[in-house]
Amino acid sequence: MKAAVYSRILEESQRKDVQVFFDELSRQKIKPVIFQSFFEQIKDNINLPADTITFSDSSQLNEEIEFIISLGGDGTLLDTITLVRDKKISIMGINFGRLGFLASIGREELRVAVKAMANRTFITDKRTLIHLDASVPLFGNTPYALNDFSIHKRDVANMIKIHTYLNGEFLNTYWADGLIVATPTGSTGYSLSCNGPVVFPDSGSFVITPVAPHNLNVRPIVVPDNNVISFEIESRSEQIICALDSRRELVSKEVQLAVQKEIFDVNIVRLNENNFLQTLRNKLTWGLDKRN
């Protein structure tokens, strides 16, 4: 079995756990294929198999690779989404960061996670992606996101007006600093911090959430994910910011933008013990009452 390994950086405090991880891969006879820049960081500090191979882009992830393992936080896992694309490669996130909502497997579960991968005693969750269409080329070969698409005013600009349509029918004009369209996965991220609702991963919906709206009666709304959501923007600035997850581009305010459900999903691996409700309770303290 082969598994790709992706990470951004090796910190000194992580070295011991990273060594445990690679030792367990070897013990379970899983051959690592390591992201090139990460390999360069660890090759002199971590004991690796002599025949370790590397990859540097998505095209080098072939059908022999069953998994890609993300070592880091949620941002690192989001990076792996751009590497996997539409390949049938499952993603396992091991949390070396802080919150670890998507990368839900803790460092203390390293050995258990690798054994589960080798024995295939894990659960795979299909997660919807959001796809961006634009009148100008944006985000190269990865115009999609796991969490959300968002439109923002530039820091130097005043509020913007975002005319929003569902399948061509007018929905609303948002006077705001920006607008988020979140997938169910992204409903627990940026959208949540802007008072958007939490929706279940299999709900088949998008959440449209304004950022700092200048209207008391404007609230987030949940819409079916079979809608095409399009936008027209008015701004005193000539440019706006478009974002897919953590990737951003400056574009002209005249750009035509629309989002819809991506034609492919991604598979996120979790251990049997970690389900969505438990993650809500453990990571976001859902229902926590200090009186009990």
d(CA 162, CA 156): 17
Alpha helices in the chain (DSSP H): 15-27, 36-42, 74-84, 110-119, 190-193, 276-284
The catalytic residue among 57, 74, 125, 245 is: 74
What does the buried/exposed string (b/e) look like for 259-271 if buried means 16 or more CB atoms within 10 Å of the residue's CB? bbbbeeebebbbb
**Strand ranges (DSSP E) for 26-127?**
31-35, 53-55, 65-72, 90-95, 105-106, 123-127
Contacting residues for 22 by C-beta, under 8 A, at least 6 apart: 32, 46, 47, 48
Q: How many residues does the chain have?
A: 292
| Tokens of residue 55, six digits | 């990859």
Q: Using alpha carbons only, what angle is made at residue 132 by residues 228 and 267, rounded to the nearest 5 degrees?
A: 95
Q: Is 74 an annotated catalytic residue?
A: yes
Bridge partners (DSSP) listed for residue 269? 92, 124
End-to-end CA distance of the chain: 47
| Residues labelled as active-site residues | 74
